[in-house]
Structures are given as structure tokens and as C-alpha cells.
């Protein structure tokens, strides 16, 4: 998994992935801004939502905004430490979790 994340981050930042064909969505946005995000995706693919879909999306967004997981991983069960996970995923986190924009964007 780490190799896959590394390769994707490198390909993304080096411009080998067409950002008009791929959207990277941080998990917090999926949970906290689901409705806006989904309507953006539907617009991007040229599929305007009908009234029923719009209502279902808005209802799901409210459910997700209220959800708070109590699930926690015990890294030691997998022979890992937090320091190791952070080190192994540094390149990916820098590319996608720290506001990095896709190649060719206005912020690049």
C-alpha cells in the first residue's frame, strides 16, 4: 500500500496524471461537505441531479456531518508505530493532505 501511495503521489505531482480526469477528495471533505462535493462531481460528469436525488444527497450530508466514529486502530496489532506510519506516508500526505494543488492549477 505504501508503494502504491508513493507512486500515485509522485505521478500526481510530476504531472503524469491528468487532473481533469481524477479528483482527489480528502476524507474530511467527504464527511463534512458531502452535498457540495457530490453536486460538483455530478456537474463535472454532466449529470444534473433530479429533485429526488438532490433531496437524498442533502439528507445523507446531514447524517454524515453528525457522525463521529469512536473506532480507533491499535497499530501495535499490525506491528506498526505511529512514527513509522507517518514516515511511510510522508510523501502522500504532503501531496494531498497539506493543501497541495494538482499540477497546472492556479496555485502551482
Per-residue pLDDT of the chain (108 residues; tens, 9 = 90+): 999 999 999 999 899 999 888 888 888 888 889 999 999 999 999 999 999 999 999 999 999 889 888 888 899 999 999 999 989 988 888 888 764 444 444 443
30 Cβ contact list (under 8 Å, min separation 6): 37, 64
* Structural contact between residues 26 and 33, judged by C-beta atoms closer than 8 angstroms: no
Amino acid at each position: 500500500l505504501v508503494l502504491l501511495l508513493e507512486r500515485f503521489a509522485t505521478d500526481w505531482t510530476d504531472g503524469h496524471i491528468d487532473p481533469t480526469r481524477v479528483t482527489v477528495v480528502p476524507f474530511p471533505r467527504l464527511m463534512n461537505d458531502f452535498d457540495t462535493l457530490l453536486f460538483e462531481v455530478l456537474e463535472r460528469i454532466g449529470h444534473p441531479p433530479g429533485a429526488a436525488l438532490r433531496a437524498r444527497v442533502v439528507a445523507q450530508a446531514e447524517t454524515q456531518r453528525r457522525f463521529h466514529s469512536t473506532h480507533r486502530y491499535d497499530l501495535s496489532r499490525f506491528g506498526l508505530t505511529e512514527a513509522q506510519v507517518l514516515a511511510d506516508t510522508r510523501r502522500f500526505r504532503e501531496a494531498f493532505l497539506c493543501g497541495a494543488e494538482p499540477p497546472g492549477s492556479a496555485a502551482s
